[in-house]
Amino acid sequence: MADTTADTTHLKKPWILTITGAIGILILLLLPVLPLFKDAQTMPETAVWIGRFHPVFLHLPIGIFILILLQEIFGFMRKDKENGVGFPLTVGVFSSIAAVICGYMLWRSGDGSYGDIGERHLWGGTIFTCAVIATAIIKKWVLLNGWMVISYKIPLVASVGIMFFTSHDGGTMTHGKGFLTKEAPGPIKAILGIKHEDKDDDAGKTVADPVIYADVIHPIFERRCIACHKEGKTKGRLNMETFELVMKGGKEGEAITPGDAADSNIVYRMELPLDDEEHMPPEGKSQPEAAELAVIKWWIDAGASPDLKVADAEMPDEIAAIVGELVKMPAPGKGDDSKEPKGHGKPDKALVEQLAKITAKYPGTLTFESQESAGVVMSAVSLRSKLGDAEFAEFAPVIAHLVSADLSATSIGDSSAAQLKDASKLKMLRLGQTKITDNSADTLAALSELESLNLYGTEVTDALLAKLATLPKLKKLYLWQTKVTEEGVKKLKEALPECEVILGVE
């Protein structure tokens, strides 16, 4: 087939090759549509086994056809008459046929978890193989008739094009979407038009009003499940990337039964013994903690709502504690003042002990901003109305170290706010739905590091607003459902043009 060194005038017309090739192409094109094997169960064992060789063969044609293309390009530049691509072309054709047949078996024995992309990849591989068979045949005719060399190069280039497209789908199937580009540097992503997600951004994001699904449940799925249950890698045909997709379920039907955790496939799978083949995540992969499983079960039993807010949810204490722990605490925003060293020095032993003492009584309320920082982050989300002025007084030892405090929906009032006068490092403060009034205006106005303040659902008025005009770093002010007027907001904006005032729930 690849006897390219022979004198072309002695060549016979390659009719046999052409006819065999055409039959081969026809068979290959029929494979995906013929109902040959239904699934792994009804398939002969050998066929299932052959399927496993797909990854063994598939890289051969990729390498070979890139080589052929390079050889042609260099040959063309050096004006070579013959550059001996005949033999590689033959090997390339046969390895493609092997890869596509194994791939077909693999697809038939699979669980269909790759969905549309799997089918597209099958067709891509098949069409590529047909194209290279055609290319090889055309090359023979070209050789015989001395037609313009270009006429074989066109199908060659087209075949390689199909090959790149198909390999990309194959890569997406094994490694998931965006494997190549995910770690690309920002400028390269910009060129490719991919949104660059700054890794620090998440930490700086302010969760204004945490939602159980978005801020607690989905992050657990992210950590434990989505690696295998996402677009391009939907194992069990279950995609867990969004609420809607999880609710769509998988191959076995519904994944979540709202109101009934025990009947929900995801819970059933997670509660199977670890060594059970169906246990999720599969043995050896990072497993959810007991607390994570507990909160997922509670959320499903409570109706699996996509938009139930932490503040509105009726939670048993232990769930409230977990939610408080898991809700992404808004870390303080990064100030413009970059000369200031990051963090606030390492925490000293006394502070660590104080923190431990308080969290023993109020679990999950206090954490350090980072390992390297003495800045303390407070979240009373899990305590809510149980945190009153008396309880808040117990946090006095750490007040001076607070960088971020979420006291929303607690029952504290102005006397607690007064204690915050020592919170000279505080950048983020949330007092939404508390009893804070205008009487706290002076205390708040003295928190000179404050960048974000939430007062939603309180009784504050323009009188308090007027005093906040002295906060030089204030960037965000949440004021919906308060007594402030448009006039008051306008005045504040004049004093603090940089500050964004949020007057409605977005």
The residues of the shown chain that bind ligand HEC, judged by CB under 6 A, are 111, 224-225, 227-229, 235-236, 238, 249-252, 255, 265-266, 269-270, 278, 280-282, 285, 288
How far apart are CB 153 and ligand HEC at their closest, in Å?
43
How far apart are CB 106 and ligand HEC at their closest, in Å?
14
What 3-state class would DSSP assign to 452? strand
Residue type for position 400: A
Alpha-carbon distance 360 to 84, whole Å? 77
Any idea which residue has 């200031």 for tokens?
340
Alpha-carbon distance 365 to 357, whole Å? 11
Residue placing its CB nearer to ligand HEC in the complex, 288 or 324: 288
Residue placing its CB nearer to ligand HEC in the complex, 177 or 467: 177
Neighbours of 496 (CB within 10 A): 19
How far apart are CB 111 and ligand HEC at their closest, in Å?
6
How far apart are CB 267 and ligand HEC at their closest, in Å?
8
Residue placing its CB nearer to ligand HEC in the complex, 168 or 251: 251
Question: Using CB atoms, what's the residue nearest to ligand HEC?
Answer: 250
How far apart are CB 315 and ligand HEC at their closest, in Å?
21
Alpha-carbon distance 399 to 419, whole Å? 8
Residue placing its CB nearer to ligand HEC in the complex, 230 or 475: 230
Q: Which residues pair with 229 in a beta bridge?
A: 234
How far apart are CB 260 and ligand HEC at their closest, in Å?
15
Residue placing its CB nearer to ligand HEC in the complex, 297 or 430: 297
How far apart are CB 299 and ligand HEC at their closest, in Å?
13
Q: Which residues of 455-488 are buried (b: 16+ CB within 10 A; e: fewer)?
A: bbbbebbbebbbbbbebebbbbbbbbebbbeeeb
Residue placing its CB nearer to ligand HEC in the complex, 172 or 265: 265
Residue placing its CB nearer to ligand HEC in the complex, 126 or 265: 265
Alpha-carbon distance 153 to 289, whole Å? 58
How far apart are CB 256 and ligand HEC at their closest, in Å?
9
What single-letter DSSP state applies at residue 399?
Answer: G
How far apart are CB 262 and ligand HEC at their closest, in Å?
14
The stretches of 178-316 forming alpha helices (DSSP H) are 186-192, 201-204, 212, 218-224, 243-248, 265-271, 290-301
Neighbours of 111 (CB within 10 A): 14
The encoded tokens of residue 344 equal 């606030």
**Cis peptide before 316, with omega less than 30 degrees from 0?**
no
Residue placing its CB nearer to ligand HEC in the complex, 191 or 290: 290
Residue placing its CB nearer to ligand HEC in the complex, 301 or 462: 301
Instruction: Calculate ∠ Cα 90-92-97, nearest 5°.
Output: 100
Of how many residues is the chain composed?
506
How far apart are CB 341 and ligand HEC at their closest, in Å?
39
Residue placing its CB nearer to ligand HEC in the complex, 41 or 338: 41
Cα–Cα nearest to 6, from 86, 100, 69, 97: 86
Count CA atoms within 13 Å of residue 452 on its CB side: 19
Cα–Cα nearest to 113, from 256, 231, 32: 231
Alpha-carbon distance 35 to 32, whole Å? 8
